[in-house]
Amino acid sequence: MTLLAFDWAFIIEKLILIVIIVFASLGIALYTTFGERKVAAILQDRPGPNRAGPFGLLQPLADGLKLIMKEEIIPNASSKWLFILGPGLAMTASLMTCAVIPWGTSLHLFGRTIELQIADVNIGILYVFAVVSMGVYGIMIGGWASNNKFSLMSALRAASQAISYEIAMGLALIALLMTTGSLSLKTIVADQVTGHYWNIVYQPLGFLIFFICAMAECNRTPFDLPEAENELNFGYHQEYSSMKLGFYLFAEYVNMIMSSAIMACMYFGGYDLPFFDESTVAPNIAAMIGVGTLLIKIVLFIFLFMWIRWTIPRFRYDQLMNLGWKKMIPLALLNMLLTGAIILSKL
């Protein structure tokens, strides 16, 4: 009976943590759209959204309500089940990434120790890659099922772009794993907390490669070729409306949040706050400070994503592919070889 009670308590803890993280991610994604419009307004010297609520803070809720209230349209010539599956798969894949992110250390509540991580998988990085790859299928299925030539061309762009930049991203991660010796995100963060420096000190080139590839994976400008409205008339979600379109738009922002969290964990210490001694405060307070620290790092990365979007123009498609295959992959291979040489020289 004791073992059974412990199992139920553990399951309830994880379910509560999943609900909190998923709804927090959706809430942050909702207001990330507002933040993006405000950042764009600042960079372009205009007010931005300021009508709905004080300072325009209710604008994301108004936009969400507008999407919900719009008419659901499914083209007659489309593959209806796949047309519905596409945005659902894209949204599900983007949310699944949060399962292996260590959001903090642990909380001590009701006589129990609650880890602030849904699942400490010892192959956490490989899990992230697998889930991110699934998200591409959501775009491909939606583009093909629309029975629209522009949507299909956009889906093909998304697939080829994902393949080319995932290779460079994987090679950049190999160099990081050579220095950390673990695939677990929790272990990678813990090593940075107990060590002297964050991984950005040891892998600056690897971080730069990973960051550029993350922008390409999230279809962010200057890599937003699958959504190029100039030549593809809105891209793979051209035929979508109402919340199906909302799922695609939300998936992009959730992917951006999760990419920022993964970069913060792998290269910038995750929940580690420099020059902060956890022994000076209560353990629960220290854990919440760690969560706040990670969220601040995520917000800074999101701002960087937005800043680049509203500063750099979109690549041509040939430039996009040349950068991925002829620049990023050789650079990632060089970084991996240099990392191996440095490690061998220290043996």
> Residue 112: what are its φ and ψ, rounded to 5°?
-125, 155
CA gap 210, 44 in Å, rounded: 28
Tokens 């929790």, residue located: 186
The number of angstroms, rounded, from the C-alpha of 124 to the middle of its chain's C-alpha atoms is 14
Backbone angles phi, psi at 176, to 5 degrees: -65, -40
Backbone angles phi, psi at 74, to 5 degrees: -120, 115
Q: What is the pLDDT of residue 235?
A: 75
Q: Minimal CA–CA distance to 111: which of 2, 9, 1, 3?
A: 9
Query: Which residues face 107 on adjacent strands?
Result: 114
Q: What is the DSSP string of 42-71?
A: HHTTS--S-SSSGGGTTHHHHHHHHHHHSP
* CB distance 207 to 267 below 8 Å: yes
Instruction: Give burial (CB, 10 Å; 0-12/13-18/19+) of 256.
Output: buried
The answer to whether the beta carbons of residues 313 and 320 sit under 8 Å apart is no
Tell the residue number behind the tokens 């890659």, with chain if given.
129
The token pair at 241 is 């409306």
Residue 54: which residues within 8 A CB-CB, separation 6 or more?
A: none
Residue 232's pLDDT is what?
Answer: 66
The pLDDT tens digits of the residues spanning 283-302 come to: 888 889 989 999 999 999 99
Domain boundaries, the chain: 77-346
Euclidean distance between CA atoms 210 and 336, whole angstroms: 13
Note down pLDDT in tens along the chain; length 347 residues: 444 445 677 788 888 888 888 888 888 888 888 888 898 898 888 888 888 888 888 888 888 888 888 888 888 888 888 888 888 888 888 888 888 899 988 888 877 788 888 888 888 888 888 888 888 888 888 888 888 888 888 888 888 888 888 889 989 989 998 888 888 888 899 888 887 789 999 999 999 999 999 988 888 878 887 776 666 667 787 888 888 888 888 888 888 999 999 999 999 988 888 888 777 788 888 889 989 999 999 999 999 999 998 888 888 888 888 998 999 999 999 999 999 998 888 77
Q: Distance (Å, rounded) from C-alpha 210 to C-alpha 213?
A: 5
Let me know: does 239 contact 75? Beta carbons within 8 Å: yes
